[in-house]
Amino acid sequence: MAITAAILGAGLYALIINPILSSILLFIISFRKKPQELAQTWGIQSMKKILSFSAYQFMFNVINYFSRNLDKLLIGKYMDMVALGYYEKSYRLMMLPLQNITHVISPVMHPIFSDFQNDLTKLSNSYNKVIRFLAFIGLPLSVLLWFCSKEIILIIFGEQWMPSVPIFQILSISVGIQIILSTSGSIFQAANDTKSLFICGVFSTLLNVIGILTGIFFFKTLEAVAWCICITFTINFIQCYIWMYKITFKQSLWKFWKQFLSPILLTGILIVCLLPTYYLSDKSSIYATLLLKGGVFIIIYVAYVQIRGEYNIINFIKSKIKK
């Protein structure tokens, strides 16, 4: 309906059709599945029950939204709209795997892990398994996006978006740590420690603002802004998990860092093996090079996790085929 409205000339109003109708539909489905008795009330008592928990959560969401969108606001104001277009396209493309992976996992983690809020050792041990799994997805994915950035931009958007390639390539470095970091909020919530979530959010926002301002006003290039954002994401990642394990879990950080040893080794092997294919991009068809890079990536990835016994992918595939 939104696309049809845009074609018919609704302009900016076409953009609000999707979120409004989606929200209405979600309410109708939820109400039919779990009907509630509606009554006119201020709900003060209900609010008091969740105020201490939700207040920090609300403040974190506000500053996180501000942090996530400040770069685009400043680029549009102090650089130009063309630069904003190239940056926004790269950023949105970078966010696709992040959203499609974490938006499936994170909403499920909170209700499941909240059962362990009185046993922080069990909570941290369970979360370590999630971190290891996501590291095996995110870190190799960053490598694949880096090496396939040109092919992805050209195939999806076309030649006119070529200036977006270096920006997307730089931003793709942060995909792995962002996939893991985006689940931290669910763990702070499950541990009933939204105050720590808010504190980490404030630190993240301040650091992101400094990084964005540095890239725009000091270096004055989109590539510099992308590099600054990658650096701030990395620092935020380290700070957040130091706080989580030291303050919330009250445990050694070694259990956390240990989950990255094998994924980092796999990432290094992928970089070495994909590096020769990177120089073929200018000499061959973009479809051929994308298939080559994708094929090399899949073979090495499957072989590594299978040989190391991380995950039995072959048996998983066999079971799916039998079904």
pLDDT in tens, 227-278: 999 999 999 999 999 999 999 999 889 989 999 999 999 999 999 999 988 7
- 20: in domain: no
**How far is residue 96's CA from residue 115's CA, in Å, rounded to a whole number?**
30
Picking from 70, 135, 78, the residue whose alpha carbon sits closest to that of residue 101 is: 135
Picking from 200, 176, 191, 202, the residue whose alpha carbon sits closest to that of residue 127 is: 191
- 3: in domain: no
- 26: in domain: no
* Domain span at 198: 55-322
Residue with tokens 């630190």: 203
- 45: in domain: no
- 94: in domain: yes
Eight-state DSSP code of residue 163:
T
Domains of the chain: total: 1
**How far is residue 196's CA from residue 181's CA, in Å, rounded to a whole number?**
14
Q: What is the pLDDT of residue 282?
A: 64
**How far is residue 307's CA from residue 205's CA, in Å, rounded to a whole number?**
41
Intra-chain end-to-end CA distance of the chain, in Å = 37
- 68: in domain: yes
- 155: in domain: yes
Q: What is the pLDDT of residues 128-183, one digit of tens each?
A: 999 999 999 999 999 999 999 999 999 999 889 999 999 999 999 999 999 999 89
pTM, 2 dp: 0.85
Long-range contacts of 28-35 (CB under 8 A, 24+ apart): none
Q: What is the pLDDT of residues 54-93, one digit of tens each?
A: 888 888 888 888 888 888 888 988 888 899 999 998 998 9
- 9: in domain: no
Q: What is the pLDDT of residue 281?
A: 61
**How far is residue 53's CA from residue 21's CA, in Å, rounded to a whole number?**
30
What's the token pair of residue 161?
């978006």
